[in-house]
Structure 1
């Protein structure tokens, strides 16, 4: 491998306090059990943990000081001191009401009004978490590459495939050549045709969906600019991504699987990507959008009968 993608995720300023809870939710499933204990503790009681030394937090969680430091670094902080500062900031936000406590999961006995309220809260929190954690430098680089691309290929399966189709529909309306591939065989055969100047985007919440990773790997080897939209920036997909766009997700539950909870954040990221590209190509994008609006308006207008 000739391109280092890990640096793009780890470099940069530590996440803001508002993004800390999102980072914990996103990365906890891929942590070791001892690191999960630390992550769960800081997310569950930021004020209490902010008052603890690294030794105190290690004793509270039944882990080691080294585990606490590793957890802090995985969450994006240079050391435990930086994590404590973020915890103090998050605690202050929660006390002021700007960072509300997490609601309970949806249960089978919930009245529909409670279902609506809980889903609305989780969706809002997911969007806020994704926005807070999204690396705008990485996003800007992807926008620049997509705006100048000869061709854009998008890979995803299941719910991620639907998000890919949504992005293709948007990009096509401003005149870009974009295709979404959910069939893994077709995805690879199209990826083989890519070259420098093209863009390949894999959408995979888990970061380990091989049917999305394999065509991205092929595109990477062919010299295309590669992008991963994922909730697991430390997953296997990162090995073949020049740029990582990280999504947050609401908590999974029996009645709300990952496919539901990840879709909202993925749609926000692709919308941001589309708007960025439309801004960058405005001279051609604006007339293309106007033409598509006119065509659709004409199609929906009452037809004259003879």
Structure 2
């Protein structure tokens, strides 16, 4: 994935998405750079290098590893990003925060995740994912832990409009599922880190068997991305307490809310008919006054 500076909201998330490719030293340097709020046109590479305790050549190397031409492009992007309203949304939670302040910070971090995820959403990948899901004969969803809850929510949504899916959150069952897939089928893997082997392995097996594969992850160049025909990315800037998963989970759910709506639109008559049927089936389970 290459970085683009045409939208100021993209530079922060795109850098974060590339961070797993960095060494521990490079990661420490980038963390320090992202924490700076004093970036200006006159900020020199020498200043950054001295503050980080590394050479100027190392700063240039890191910038290129992040997909940029060099330090000047990195500096220009961060100047724009740090001034954007989206960047200002995120604030770390501190022990001094009141409950009301914590609630506000958590909500603002989720809003930031949604804004930035939308800014990096690849329209072509989104449309391809919708087409694959709509036309698939069998749709198997794979996720572990928190990602399993996202997959389960998505499976529920699709069932409401008659789009049948099977959701698996057990490593053995996922592999068994993948071994039964083939041409015309779709496997969808959910992994925030992109490194969960229990999800990567069945996704790769499904692809080997001829099925098309879709991955939803937070990081570019992650192992799960290499196992997928289509990759959709979320992004979130977490806090030490919440981590990235909390805000990323919101962004990932919204990505598939949008996919759900786009898939339904492809045959709106059938979607509305099936929605009426599934809603009617559970009406008796609700209390009425």
Residue 6 of structure 1 aligns with which residue? none
* Corresponding residue number in structure 1 for 2:62: 71
Q: CA deviation at 1:172?
A: 1.4
The farther-off stretch of 145-154 and 47-56 is 47-56
Change (3 A) 1:16 1:155: same
- Output the CA distance in 2 between the equivalents of 1:63 and 1:158: 38
The answer (yes or no) to whether the contact 1:24–1:40 under 8 Å persists in 2 is no
Q: CA deviation at 1:128?
A: 1.7
Does the 8 Å contact 1:46/1:90 carry over to 2? no
Cα–Cα, structure 1 residues 251 and 98, in superposed 2: closer, same or farther, change >3 Å?
Answer: closer
**Partner deviation per Cα, 1:137-165 (whole Å, 9 max, x = no partner):** 21111111111111111111111000000
* Structure 2: distance between partners of 1:247 and 1:271: 13
Residues 17 and 89 in structure 1, CA contact (< 8 A), matched pair in contact too: yes
The match for 1:16 among 7, 28, 47 is 7
Structure 1 unaligned blocks of 5 or more: 1-9
User: Could you tell me whether the CA contact under 8 Å between 1:25 and 1:251 is conserved in 2?
Assistant: no
SS in structure 2 at match of 1:237: helix
* Distance change in 2, residues 1:235/1:38 (3 Å): same
Separation in structure 1 between the aligned mates of residue 77 and residue 108 of structure 2, nearest angstrom: 23
Residues in 2 aligned to 1:283 and 1:184: alpha-carbon distance in whole angstroms: 37
Residue of structure 1 in register with 2:92 after alignment: 104
Pairs within 5 Å for 1:159-198 = 159-198=146-185
1:232 aligned to 2:219?
A: yes
Give the match for residue 117 of structure 1.
Answer: 104
- Any idea what SS the aligned residue of 1:18 has? coil
Q: CA deviation at 1:65?
A: 4.7
The CA deviation string for residues 91-131 of structure 1, in whole angstroms up to 9 with x for no partner, is 442xxx55416313243x64322221221122212222222
> 4+ runs of 1 displaced by more than 6 Å?
none
Correspondence for 1:210 among 197, 221, 228: 197
- Cross-structure match for 1:269: 255
What is the TM-score when the length of structure 2 is the normalising length? 0.86
After TM superposition, give the deviation of residue 263 of structure 1 in Å.
Answer: 1.7
Task: Using the TM superposition, name which of 72-81 and 202-211 deviates more.
Answer: 72-81
Aligned to 1:127: 114
Distance 1:101 1:178 in 2: 36
Between Structure 1 and Structure 2, how many residues are aligned?
A: 289
Please give the alpha-carbon distance, in whole angstroms, between the structure 2 residues aligned to 1:28 and 1:106.
25
Supply the distance in 2 between the matched residues of 1:73 and 1:285 (Cα, whole angstroms): 47
The change in CA–CA distance for 1:208 and 1:56 in structure 2 (over 3 A counts) is same
Residue by residue over 1:257-281, the C-alpha shift from the partner in whole angstroms, topping out at 9 and shown as x without a partner, is: 4543432222122212212212223
CA distance in 2, matches of 1:69, 1:197: 46
What TM-score do the two structures reach when normalised by structure 1? 0.82
Deviation at 1:298, TM superposition (A): 4.8
